[in-house]
Structure 1
Amino acid sequence: MLAKNFKKSLLAVNIGLVMSAGFTGAVFAAEETQIKEDVEVIEVRGIRASTKADINNKRFANAVVDSITAEDIGKFPDKNVAESLSRITGVGVSREFGEGEKITVRGSDPTKNRTLLNGQNVGTADWFILDNPSRSFNFTMLPSSLVSNLEVYKSPEARLDEGSIGGTVILHTRKPLDLDSGTTHINLQSQYSETSEEHDPLIEGLFSWKNEDEKFGILVSGSKSERTVRREGFEVLGWDAQDDGTYTPRTMGVPVFRQDRERTTLFTAIQFAPSDDFSATLNILDSNMDVNNTNSNYLLMNPASNATLSYEGENAVYGSGGTDVRWNHINRISSTDTSSIHLDIDFATDSFSMNVELGTTEAEGGTLNETSWEYGGQGDYNFDLTGSTPTVNAGVDGTDPSKFNGGWIWGGNKPTTDEESYGQVDFDIPVDMGAFTAIKVGVKYRDQKRTQDREAYSWHWGYANDGVSANYMSQIIGTDCPTLAQCDLAIGSDSVGADVVNGDITQQLTHNSAKMFELGLGPDASYAAHKVLGEIFAVEEKKTSYYIQGDFSGDDFRGNIGVRVAKTDQDSSGYLFSSDSAGLLTVDNPGLNPDLVPSTLEWVTESRSYTEILPNFNLSYDLAEDQIVRLSAARTMARPNFFDISPITAPGDLGEDNPTAQAGNPNLDPQLANQFDAAWEFYFDEASLFAITLFYKDIESYQTSGTYMQDFYDQEEDMWISATVTRPENGPGGTTTGLEATLQYDLGGGFGVSANYTYTDAKNDGERDVMNPGSGLVMGASENMLNASAFYEDDLFSVRAMYNYRTEWYKGLHSSGAELWNDDYGQLDFTTTVNVTENISVVFEGINLTNEKVVEYNTSKDRVLSIYENGRRFVLGANFRF
Structure 2
Amino acid sequence: MTIKRNLLAAALASTGLCMAFGVSAQSAPATATQQTGATSTSTSTTTTSNDNSATTSNQKSQQQLAKNLATVTVSGFAGSVEKSIDYQRYADTIQNVVTAADIGGLPDQSIADALTRLPGVSAERVSGSASQINCRGMSGNFIETTLDGREQPSTSGSNYIQFDQYPSELISQATVYKTSEASLIEGGVGCTIALQTANPLDNAKDQSLNVDARGSYDGQAHDVIGADPEGYRLSVAYQGKFLDNTLGVGLGFAQLYQPYVAEQYDGLGGQVTSVNGKQAYVPEGTEVIQEGGEERRTGYLSTIVWRPNDHWQITDDTYYSKFDNTKYQYGYVSQAYDNGGVAITNPGFDAYNGVTSGTITSAALPANAQFSNATLSGNDTTDSNVFSTGLNAKWNDGPWHLDMDASLSHSSSNDYNLWAEAEPFNGLSNPSTATLMNQSATFVNNGERIGQFSVGNPGIYTNPNDMAVTSINVSPYIYRENYKGFRTSLQYDFDNDAIFSDLQAGVYINNQNYTADRTSWVYGNNNYTTGDASGGQPPLPLSSGDTSRVCWQGSFGGMPCFLKINTPLVLSAYGLKADPQLDLNPNGQAWTGVQSGTVNEKVRDMFLQADIDTTLWGHELTGNMGVRVAYTQQSSSGLEEVPTGTGVPITDGFGYTSTSYVPLNLGMSYTKWLPSTNLIYHWTDNDQTRFSISKDLSRPTLNYMLAGAGSYESGSGPSATFNVWGGYSPLLRPMTAMSYDLNYEHYFEDSSGLFTAGVFVKHLNTYIQEVSYNQFNFAAAGITVPTNPATGQPYLNGSYASAYNAPGTMLRGFETSFQKTHFLPGFWSNFGFGANYAFTQSPFGTSNPDGSTTVLSAFPGLSRNVASAQIFYDDGRFSGNITDTYRSKWVSDSQLAVNAEFVYYDSENEIDLQTAYKLSKNVSVLFQILNLNNMPSRTYFGVPSNTGTIQYFGRTFYAGVNLSL
Task: Name the TM tier (shorter chain).
Answer: 0.7 to 0.9
Cα displacement string for residues 147-166 of structure 1 (whole angstroms, at most 9, x for unaligned residues):
11111100001101001111
Give the 3 Å change call, closer, same or farther, for CA 21–79 of structure 1 in structure 2: farther
- Cα distance between partner residues in 1 of 2:419 and 2:880: 46
- Cα distance between partner residues in 2 of 1:204 and 1:769: 49
Larger radius of gyration: 2
Deviation at 1:623, TM superposition (A): 1.5
Deviation at 1:76, TM superposition (A): 4.8
- Is 1:312 the equivalent of 2:312? no
- Is 1:152 the equivalent of 2:176? yes
Judge conservation of contact 2:53–2:62 (CA < 8 Å) in 1.
Answer: no
Deviation at 1:683, TM superposition (A): 1.4
Judge conservation of contact 1:263–1:290 (CA < 8 Å) in 2.
Answer: yes
TM-score norm. by structure 1 comes to 0.87
- Cα distance between partner residues in 2 of 1:730 and 1:840: 57
Structure 1: runs of 5+ lacking an equivalent: 1-19, 127-132, 462-470, 713-719
SS at match of 1:625: coil
* Aligned with residue 137 of structure 2, among 89, 94, 107: 107
Task: Give the counterpart letter for 1:353 in structure 2.
Answer: H
Task: Give the counterpart letter for 2:455 in structure 1.
Answer: A
SS at match of 1:274: coil
Judge conservation of contact 2:470–2:524 (CA < 8 Å) in 1.
Answer: no
Give the 3 Å change call, closer, same or farther, for CA 578–806 of structure 1 in structure 2: same
Deviation at 1:474, TM superposition (A): 6.2
- Cα distance between partner residues in 2 of 1:835 and 1:253: 48
Task: Give the counterpart letter for 2:453 in structure 1.
Answer: V
Identity %: 22
* Aligned with residue 238 of structure 2, among 207, 221, 231: 207
What is the match of residue 715 of structure 1?
Answer: none
What is the match of residue 623 of structure 2?
Answer: 559
- Cα distance between partner residues in 2 of 1:582 and 1:75: 64
Task: Give the counterpart letter for 1:625 in structure 2.
Answer: D
* Aligned with residue 577 of structure 2, among 514, 521, 525: 525
* Aligned with residue 731 of structure 1, among 794, 801, 806: 806
What is the match of residue 92 of structure 1?
Answer: 122
What is the match of residue 659 of structure 2?
Answer: 599
Judge conservation of contact 1:331–1:513 (CA < 8 Å) in 2.
Answer: no
- Cα distance between partner residues in 2 of 1:814 and 1:650: 22
What is the match of residue 20 of structure 2?
Answer: none
Task: Give the counterpart letter for 1:796 in structure 2.
Answer: R
More off after superposition, 49-58 vs 509-518: 509-518
Deviation at 1:325, TM superposition (A): 1.0
Give the 3 Å change call, closer, same or farther, for CA 773–564 of structure 1 in structure 2: farther
Give the 3 Å change call, closer, same or farther, for CA 849–562 of structure 1 in structure 2: same
- Cα distance between partner residues in 1 of 2:58 and 2:686: 26
What is the match of residue 322 of structure 1?
Answer: 361
What is the match of residue 504 of structure 1?
Answer: 559
What is the match of residue 425 of structure 1?
Answer: 488
Deviation at 1:812, TM superposition (A): 1.4
Q: Give the count of matched residue pairs.
A: 820
SS at match of 1:778: coil
* Aligned with residue 477 of structure 2, among 393, 411, 414: 414
- Cα distance between partner residues in 2 of 1:511 and 1:569: 49
What is the match of residue 253 of structure 1?
Answer: 287
- Is 1:74 the equivalent of 2:82? no
- Cα distance between partner residues in 2 of 1:639 and 1:335: 27
- Is 1:335 the equivalent of 2:400? no
Aligned ranges for residues 5-154 of structure 1 at < 5 Å? Answer: 22-26=52-56, 45-76=75-106, 78-126=108-156, 133-154=157-178
SS at match of 1:624: coil
SS at match of 2:360: strand
SS at match of 1:101: strand
Task: Give the counterpart letter for 2:185 in structure 1.
Answer: D
What is the match of residue 227 of structure 1?
Answer: 258
SS at match of 1:731: strand
What is the match of residue 453 of structure 2?
Answer: 392
- Cα distance between partner residues in 1 of 2:232 and 2:411: 25
- Cα distance between partner residues in 2 of 1:628 and 1:34: 15
Alpha-carbon RMSD across the aligned residues, in angstroms, is: 3.3
Q: Which structure's relative contact order is higher, taking Cα pairs within 8 Å and 6+ residues apart? A: 2
What is the match of residue 12 of structure 1?
Answer: none
* Aligned with residue 754 of structure 1, among 824, 834, 850: 834
Deviation at 1:109, TM superposition (A): 1.1
Deviation at 1:31, TM superposition (A): 10
Judge conservation of contact 2:53–2:66 (CA < 8 Å) in 1.
Answer: no
Cα displacement string for residues 773-803 of structure 1 (whole angstroms, at most 9, x for unaligned residues):
9976411000001100111222321221100
- Cα distance between partner residues in 2 of 1:415 and 1:780: 25
Judge conservation of contact 1:117–1:170 (CA < 8 Å) in 2.
Answer: yes
What is the match of residue 641 of structure 1?
Answer: 701
SS at match of 2:126: coil
Deviation at 1:363, TM superposition (A): 1.0
* Aligned with residue 493 of structure 1, among 524, 546, 550: 550
Judge conservation of contact 1:732–1:766 (CA < 8 Å) in 2.
Answer: no
- Is 1:187 the equivalent of 2:239? no
Task: Give the counterpart letter for 2:879 in structure 1.
Answer: S
Structure 2: runs of 5+ lacking an equivalent: 1-49, 223-228, 363-371, 425-436, 526-532, 584-591, 715-722, 777-784, 787-794
Task: Give the counterpart letter for 1:355 in structure 2.
Answer: D
- Cα distance between partner residues in 2 of 1:636 and 1:32: 26
* Aligned with residue 505 of structure 2, among 438, 441, 456: 441
TM-score norm. by structure 2 comes to 0.80
Give the 3 Å change call, closer, same or farther, for CA 582–414 of structure 1 in structure 2: farther
- Is 1:807 the equivalent of 2:918? no
Cα displacement string for residues 25-47 of structure 1 (whole angstroms, at most 9, x for unaligned residues):
33589999999999969687212
- Cα distance between partner residues in 1 of 2:84 and 2:708: 45
Judge conservation of contact 2:936–2:951 (CA < 8 Å) in 1.
Answer: yes
Aligned ranges for residues 529-678 of structure 1 at < 5 Å? Answer: 529-531=581-583, 532-554=592-614, 556-580=620-644, 587-588=652-653, 590=655, 597-649=657-709, 663-678=727-742
Task: Give the counterpart letter for 1:456 in structure 2.
Answer: S
Give the 3 Å change call, closer, same or farther, for CA 604–259 of structure 1 in structure 2: same
Give the 3 Å change call, closer, same or farther, for CA 794–44 of structure 1 in structure 2: closer
Judge conservation of contact 2:664–2:708 (CA < 8 Å) in 1.
Answer: no
Give the 3 Å change call, closer, same or farther, for CA 450–409 of structure 1 in structure 2: same
* Aligned with residue 818 of structure 2, among 711, 728, 743: 743
Cα displacement string for residues 251-310 of structure 1 (whole angstroms, at most 9, x for unaligned residues):
211122223211111110011110111001000111111222222240112235221122
Aligned ranges for residues 262-281 of structure 1 at < 5 Å? Answer: 262-281=296-315
Give the 3 Å change call, closer, same or farther, for CA 31–407 of structure 1 in structure 2: closer
More off after superposition, 99-108 vs 643-652: 643-652
Give the 3 Å change call, closer, same or farther, for CA 386–559 of structure 1 in structure 2: same
What is the match of residue 854 of structure 1?
Answer: 937
Give the 3 Å change call, closer, same or farther, for CA 44–635 of structure 1 in structure 2: farther
SS at match of 1:51: helix
More off after superposition, 152-161 vs 641-650: 641-650
- Cα distance between partner residues in 2 of 1:802 and 1:259: 28
Deviation at 1:412, TM superposition (A): 3.2
What is the match of residue 767 of structure 2?
Answer: 702
SS at match of 1:174: coil
Judge conservation of contact 1:745–1:752 (CA < 8 Å) in 2.
Answer: yes
Task: Give the counterpart letter for 1:864 in structure 2.
Answer: T
What is the match of residue 720 of structure 2?
Answer: none
- Cα distance between partner residues in 1 of 2:651 and 2:472: 18
More off after superposition, 400-409 vs 638-647: 400-409
- Cα distance between partner residues in 2 of 1:208 and 1:516: 52
Deviation at 1:569, TM superposition (A): 0.2
Give the 3 Å change call, closer, same or farther, for CA 745–526 of structure 1 in structure 2: closer
Give the 3 Å change call, closer, same or farther, for CA 788–662 of structure 1 in structure 2: farther
Deviation at 1:79, TM superposition (A): 1.4
- Cα distance between partner residues in 2 of 1:326 and 1:819: 26
- Cα distance between partner residues in 2 of 1:270 and 1:550: 31
- Cα distance between partner residues in 1 of 2:953 and 2:813: 31
Judge conservation of contact 1:628–1:681 (CA < 8 Å) in 2.
Answer: yes
